[in-house]
A and B are shown apart, each in its own frame.
Chain A
Amino acid sequence: MSRDMRRDFVNRSELIAYLRQEFPEAARNADAVPDARGGRKAAEDKLAEIDVQAYESSRNHLEGAVTHLSPHIRHGVLGMAEVRDNVRNKSSGPQPGKLLQELAWRDYFQRIYTRIGSAIWQDQEPYKTGFAAGDYADELPADISDGETGLACMDAFGKELIETGYLHNHARMWFAGYIVHFRRIKWQAGAHWFLQHLLDGDPASNNLSWQWVASTFSQKPYFFNRENVEKFTNGRYCRSCPLYGKCVFEGSYSDLEHRLFPNKPPAPKPKEKQPGSKKRKKWHQ
């Protein structure tokens, strides 16, 4: 008869000690245990905290009123219909707002996953960067996974990912854009790393968002400049960054586009973006 795993824990510390003993390899991969709890009570608490109006106005900022629902939705502790109804009850008008649209993105990715299955790991389309897939490195360099790139923002995101299993959507986009376009690494390497750590790690939402950034599931690559990071983080990282003013993200979008994608054919109607202007924001948990 197979051995049943334990359920009788006096407290969380005892559970954690048990899991370290039972899953030593996982503990070796990353031993950190975040405050975020699993379970229905924790999920219901997050659901009750949703502030639809605050979410709509502040979600792109790292300190914005995001919901932190994604791990609970990803593991089906909260049903999509249940969350939908909760959001509707708190919404002011009859039109589906931004939060329902975010949920729709998850629904969309799940539909694609149903259709393509394991091909979720393959490029859905060619890169639109002027580079071929073979031009991108296969492996994630250690300076990224160790948080030692010297870029205060990226190193902080890496540490947060490993310690908490969570990253704000915008941080995921910047991080993915950095890895794929500034370091020219295959999106799959970053996607694997995220899935190791994210409490909401789900191949559909994760991989298709990486592909959206990479341009293998979108019309153009997603990238960003320093002013964009500074604006949506209230300068939290730039202020303490040793590379402030001379980092790889410095410059206008036009400058960066030429630097990052020198072989990319020009767009039919090029538009100069203002430094720090709002870029597309589409990472969906």
Chain B
Amino acid sequence: MNKAIIWIHGDCLNPGQTALRRHPHTPAIFVWDDDLLRRRRIALKRILFIYECLLDLPVIIRRGQVAREIITFAKEHKTRTVITTGSVSPGFERICRRLREQGLELIITDEEPFVDLPQEPDLRRFSRTWRAIRKALEED
């Protein structure tokens, strides 16, 4: 494939993740979201835990405004393709939107889910979802 970069984020810090496995030797970046750390008043121990995870990964670590740093990193590597792992966080969605607005192409990989359900379960209460999950686990 053409040149690309990998964006690693805090929801997927497995050194064996699909994005890294499928695209070895691809430059990878993690960005500390300074605004989020400040807004949430995140304690040092949480930063330490994540930093220790990052040291297992072949990743450049930077900080600042996440989308801007990814765009800069992509420019440094003369690419417009960003590979990353999907996340349910609305912050992830916002960053992806900004990257696309700046003309970057996103390739979003997914890790194997806990369970594959044929259709979205009833989420009003856990007991209803659990019935669907249990059935899928038993049939798996």
Number of interface residues of A (CB under 8 A): 72
Determine chain A's interface SS by DSSP, over half rule. Answer: helix
Q: A266 at the A/B interface (Cβ < 8 Å)? A: no
Give the distance in Å from the alpha carbon of A86 to the alpha carbon of B100 in the complex. Answer: 38
Determine if A165 and B49 form an interchain contact, defined as CB atoms under 8 angstroms apart.
Answer: yes
Q: How far is the CA of A40 from the CA of B55 in the complex (A)?
A: 10
Number of interface residues of B (CB under 8 A): 57
Q: Across the interface, do A39 and B53 meet the contact criterion of CB distance under 8 Å? A: yes
Given contacts A2-B64, A108-B129, A192-B40, contact A115 B138 (CB under 8 A): no
Q: Which of A2, A7, A25 contacts B37 (CB 8 A)?
A: A25
Min CB–CB distance A125 → chain B (angstroms)? 10
Is residue A248 contacting chain B, with contact meaning CB distance below 8 A?
no
Known: A15-B48, A117-B93. A7 touches B55 (CB 8 A): yes
A89 within 8 A of B: no
Interchain CB contact under 8 A, A197 and B123: no
Report the bound CA distance from A204 to B11 in whole Å: 12
Known: A40-B16, A108-B126. 12 other contacts (CB 8 A): A19-B44, A37-B52, A39-B52, A39-B55, A80-B112, A82-B112, A94-B138, A103-B114, A112-B123, A114-B88, A192-B40, A195-B40
Name B's A-contacting residues (CB within 8 A): 10-17, 32, 37-38, 40-56, 60-64, 69, 72-73, 76, 85, 88-90, 93, 111-115, 120-121, 123, 126, 129-130, 133-134, 137-138
Q: Which 4 A-B pairs have the closest CB atoms?
A: A38-B52, A76-B12, A30-B43, A80-B114
